[in-house]
Amino acid sequence: MILQKRRVFLVMMLLLVAAVTGATANPDVRDGCQERCGDVIVPYPFGIGEQRCAMNENFFLNCTSTDDGHHELWFREDMPARNISLLNGTVTVGILASFDCYDKSGGQSRLFNQSISLGPAYTFSDSRNMLTAVGCDTAATVTNKEETFGAACFSFCTGNVTMSKNNSCLGSGCCQTSIPKGLKSLDITIESFNNHEDVSAFNPCGFAFLEDKDSLDLSDWPLSRTPKQNNDTSNVVIEWVAQNETCENARANKSSYACGINTNCYYSDNGQGYRCACNAGFEGNPYLEQGCQDIDECEYPEKYTCYGKCHNTIGNYECKCFLGMRGDGKGGCQFNTIIAVIGAIVSLVIICLLLFMILSKRRKDRNFRENGGTVLKHQRVRIFSEAELTKATDKYDDDKKIGEGGFGSVYKGVLADNTVVAVKKSKGVDKAQMNEDFQHEICVVSQVNHKNVVKLLGLCLETKVPLLVYEFISNGTLSKHIHDKRSQVLASWSNRLRIASEAALALDYLHSLADPPVIHGDVKSVNILLDDKYTAKVADFGASVLISPGQTNILATKIQGTLGYLDPEYLMTGDLTEKSDVYSFGVVLVELLTGEKPNSNAKSGNKRNIIQYFNSALENNDLFGILDFQAADEAEMNEIEAVAELAKRCLNSVGVNRPSMKEVSEELAKLKAFNQKSWTQQNSDETEYLLGKSSQSFRNNASPPTSQSQTVISFEFENYTDSI
C-alpha cells in the first residue's frame, strides 16, 4: 500500500514538472515543443521557440511577449499570424491597409503603397482573398513584383452610404476585385481623384487592402473611419506547401519527403507544390515522423453508422448484424428465423462452455489450495495464472522448448508486459512432497537475490503440478559453450576464469549468506547459464535442500544429481553436505580446463573418466597437454596451474579435506583480479605472491600429502541434464 502511494505521488510530481516546463504531449507538435503562442495553436511543420520544432526555416515563426504578459505570434516582422490550418494548408495573417486621407484645409496623410513579398513555400490565396477599397473617392490598384499582373477597382458615393455587414461592395462606398493564382508578391496602391473635396464631410479617408472575403465585415470600415496607428490591418489568407516540387520527385528523395506514415501526397490548388494528408480512416498530423494513427470508428457511433456489432480495422471498420439478424450492418439489419435457431443452438453450446469453465476454475482453485497457494500468496513471490503462462508459451509449443530433463521441460515465454521468462513444467509429482517443506523452500528460493543466481520470478499453483517461472537467460548453458567448438566465448583464459569465479561466488552465497543456507545438490556446467553479457548465473534448484540451524549434513532418502558430477562420498553414505557442491564444482573446473565431459569418449572410442584423466596428467606433469585452449603468457600459465591445483583439492574423495566454497571463491577472485590487472602491468613477483606455494609445488610435480590421496569412482552410463 505504501509503495502504491509512492508511485501515485511520483506520477503527480512528473505531471507537475511537465506543466511547469511547458513540455507537451500534443499530437500536432514535436516532442518537447511549444504548442501555442497566445491564442494561436502552432502545429508542425510550423514551430516556435527552437529551430528543431519547425520542419525548416520557412516554417519557423516568432512568438513575442508584450508588457502586459500577452503573447503574439508573428508570421513575419510586420505580419501577426492569427490562424494556422493543416487541413486547408493556410495561414491567416494581418497586413496593414494602405490609406489616403485629407483634412478640410487640403492637408494630406497617406500610406498609399504597400509592397509585400512571400517566401518560396507561400502564395496569396486567390480563392479566399479579394482586393478591397473603401471610400467615396478611392482608386485601388494591385500588381505583382514582376508586373505580370495588374487589377484595379474604383469606389464612389452619390450620397451618404452606411457601411454594414450585408453591403454588396459593388462600387458604392466599396469595391472589390480578384487576384490570380500563384501570386507570391503584391504591390497595393491607393489614390484619390478629387482629394475627397466633395465628400470630405463624411469620408476623410480611403482605404485599400487585401482581405479574406469570408471574414470581411464592412461594418468595421465606416466611411468616417480614420487611420489607427498599427491597427488598420486586414485578415489575409496565405496558402503554403510542404515543398515546391512534384509528389513523385518528393517520394524519390526520402530524406526530404515531408509526409509521415499512413499519409498521402497531393497537389495544392494553386499548383505551387505538394501537401500531405492522412489516409482515409486515419487521423493526426501528417507532417510528423510518426504520421497519422488509425481512427477507431466504433468509438464514434454518431459519425460512423453501425446497426450491429462494430469491429475496428486498420483504416476502416466492420459492422456485422447481431445473431438472428441479416443484412449490411452499416445500412441496416433485419430479423432472420434460420439464424435465430442457429443462435439458440450456439447459446446452448456457450452455456456448456460456461459450465466447463466453471468446473475448470473450481479445479484450478482446488489445485491452488493443495499446492499451498493460501500461504504462498502472502509471500514475496508472484503468483501466475495458468492462462497467463499458456499464452506466454504459445500453449507450450515445441518451438518454445529450450531444455528438457528427467523433471520435465523448460519453455521460453513472453508475458503480456513483454518480459521474457523461462517456464519450468514438470512431468509429474509425488503429491506427498507437496507439504509445508516444499512451500517453505519456494518461499526461501524466491527471496534469493544474487547477481550470479538465476532469479525465480514466481510460480503457478493452478495446475496439478506447480509451474516455476524464472528469468530468461539468453546465451544458454556453460556446457554448450565448452563443448560447441564454434563458440568463441571461452577462447580466452580470462573469460574461463571470470565465469568460474562468478559461479563460485554464487555457490558461496548459497552456502554462507542465504538464510537458511542452501545446498544446491546438482552443480554442473549445464546448470550454469550465461546471460546477454556472458555473466554466469547458477540455475536449477530442483535437487536443492535447505540446512536448518545447527545442521551440517542431510541424509538423503534417494540420491539426486547428475552422474559424473556427484560426490563419491555422498554416493556411498547418502550424506549430502556443502562439500558435495564443492566436489561437483571441482568437476566443472576440470571441464573448463580440458573441454572434456565427465564421462567422455577417448580417441580409442572407450569411455574414460575425466577425473582419472585429469589426475593422470597432473602426475605426469602434462597439464598443458590436456588443456582445451592456449595460455597467452607466463602469467596465465601460472593462473591455470593454480586453478588446476584448486580443482584437485575440490575433488578430494574425503569431504572434510576439501576447501569450503568460500575458500574456493576467494582464491578464484584473487586470480581473477590479478588477471585483470595483468592487462596493464606485468609483474612476475606479484604473480608468485598471488599464486602462493601451490603453484611452486605444482611446477616441482610434488605429490600431495597422504591425507589428501583420492579415490576416483567412474560411472559408465548416461547422465541427464536439466536447464533453465
Catalytic positions, please?
Answer: 522
Beta bridge partners of 267: 274
Rounded to whole angstroms, how far apart are CA atoms 646 and 697?
A: 12
C-alpha to C-alpha distance for 696 and 699, rounded to whole angstroms? 5
CA atoms of 586 and 595, how far apart (whole Å): 14
Beta strand 382-384 pairing with 456-460: parallel
Distance CA 627, CA 605 (A): 20
- Whether cis (ω within 30° of 0) applies to the bond prior to 516 is yes
Residue 456: phi and psi, rounded to 5, are: -80, 115
How far is 493 from 486, CA to CA, in rounded Å?
16
Which positions ≥6 away from 199 have C-beta within 8 Å?
Answer: 136, 137, 157
Angle, CA of 323, 326 and 327, to the nearest 5°: 135
Could you give phi then psi for residue 319, rounded to 5 degrees? -135, 115
Sign of the alpha-carbon dihedral angle for 487, 492, 498, 503 = positive
Is cis: bond before 45, omega within 30 of 0? yes
| Residue in the block written with cell 432472420 | 336
Alpha-carbon span 417 to 718, nearest angstrom: 40
Long-range contact pairs involving 587-590 (C-beta distance under 8 Å, separation at least 24)? 587/524, 587/611, 587/651, 588/478, 588/500, 588/503, 588/523, 588/524, 588/525, 588/528, 589/500, 589/643, 589/644, 589/646, 589/647, 589/650, 590/614, 590/647, 590/651
Q: Decide: 135 and 95 in contact? Cβ < 8 Å.
A: no
What is the rounded CA–CA span in Å between residue 441 and residue 66? 71
